[in-house]
Amino acid sequence: MNATLEAVMAQTAAQVGEALTTLLPNKPLTEAKLFDAMRWGCLAGGKRLRPLLVLQSSSLFGVSQTCALRTAAAIEFVHCYSLIHDDLPAMDDSDLRRGRPTVHKQFDDATAILAGDGLLTFAFEVLADPETHEDPNVRCNLVTALAKAAGPEGMVGGQQLDLIGETVPLDEKEVARLQRLKTGALISFSAEAGAILGRASPPQRLALRAYAHDLGLAFQIADDLLDAEGDEAVTGKPVGADAAAGKQTFVSILGLERARAQASLLADQAAKHLDIFEDRADVLRQLARYVVERRA
């Protein structure tokens, strides 16, 4: 990985981890187990890809660090809630995430459901707070965009489509739509968030959306490739899990060769959308390359 990008990613992960810790409720109440479970589900590390997109897109428009970090935290809360609920026995039934027990294994199923609910609700509280932006129109725009990206016609709809795909075969178009809903919508909003916070012009906002759209798709194809041919010791996940589960993925549909070519093409295309930002968007350009070349 490019040295600049590596440094930026490490710095972002540290800053975001700190912001999440500061924001999350943490009082010694009888129900504190809920707060512990919320922290467990958020503070296990991870790439913090979505916060990176928020911070980098915000830096294009001179948005203050506080505004960008609060928005990044809200999006990461939503991402983490979705993982907690996805891992539940009724859903993917996963015992481990990032090498440690998932929330329902560490606590219990009921607490994991509530911790996810709590994180989702709390994300909106953070966004609507005047500390996130002085302009209430901007805050409402953030709430609307997050709700659309994460709601029944966004991420939650994608998760339902994913469930349905376990029993009904989906074609290439539906697999692409599944990905766009399940992970693409939140990734797009992350890149768009800087433009919303910075009250950017519509062409700038659209450029970031287009970038994030291609980046999200490239990211998912790369994920499917890692699942099919990755190094278990590096990815930390068993190889071939999707195929074993009978899941339709970009690899099962396109084959390895075409999937690899498609991911690379999308990464180039994503970077292209950033031309209007000139060299100020270099980190975002490097990120597009990283996303398809990463090994975990």
Interface contacts to a second copy, rule CB under 8 A: 25, 27, 29-31, 33-35, 38, 81, 85, 88, 90-91, 108-111, 113-114, 116-122, 124-125, 127-130, 136-137, 139-140, 143-144, 146-148, 150-153, 156-161, 163-164, 168, 170, 174
- Amino acid 136 reads P
CB 223 → a second copy: shortest distance, Å? 21
| Total number of residues shown for the chain | 296
Find the shortest distance in angstroms from Cβ 83 to a second copy.
12
Report the residue number, 139 or 285, with the smaller CB distance to a second copy: 139
Shortest Å distance, C-beta 120 to a second copy: 6
What is the 3-state composition of the chain as percent helix, strand, coil, each rounded to the nearest 5? 75, 0, 25
Q: Take residue 3 and report the two structure tokens written for it.
A: 């040295």
Q: How far is the CB of 121 from a second copy (least distance, A)?
A: 4
Distance CA 117, CA 109 (A): 12
Q: Pick between residue 193 and residue 267 the one whose CB is nearest to a second copy.
A: 193
Q: How far is the CB of 88 from a second copy (least distance, A)?
A: 7
With tokens 């911790």, the residue in question is: 115
Please identify, using beta-carbon distances, which residue of 122 and 290 lies nearer to a second copy.
122
Residue pointed to by tokens 């490097």 = 286
Which residues, 6+ apart, have CB-to-CB distance to 165 below 8 Å? 174, 175, 178, 247, 248
> In degrees rounded to 5, what are phi and psi of residue 246?
70, 20
Which CB, 171 or 229, lies closer to a second copy?
Answer: 171
CB of 30 to a second copy, least distance (A): 6
| Residue 124 CB, nearest approach to a second copy (Å) | 5
Of 74 and 267, the one with the shorter C-beta distance to a second copy is 74
CA distance 93 to 135: 42
- The DSSP element (H or E) to which 18 belongs, if any, is helix 3-23
Q: CB atoms < 10 A from the CB of 279, how many?
A: 7
Rounded Cα–Cα distance for residues 98 and 105 (Å): 13
Longest dimension (CA), the chain: 55
Alpha-carbon distance of 17 to 46, in angstroms, equals: 10
Per the CB < 8 A criterion, the answer to whether 256 and 284 are in contact is no
Q: Which is nearer to a second copy, 8 or 146 (CB)?
A: 146
CB of 148 to a second copy, least distance (A): 6
CA distance 246 to 180: 20
When the beta carbons of 94 and 269 are compared against a second copy, the nearer one is 94
Q: Which is nearer to a second copy, 184 or 230 (CB)?
A: 184
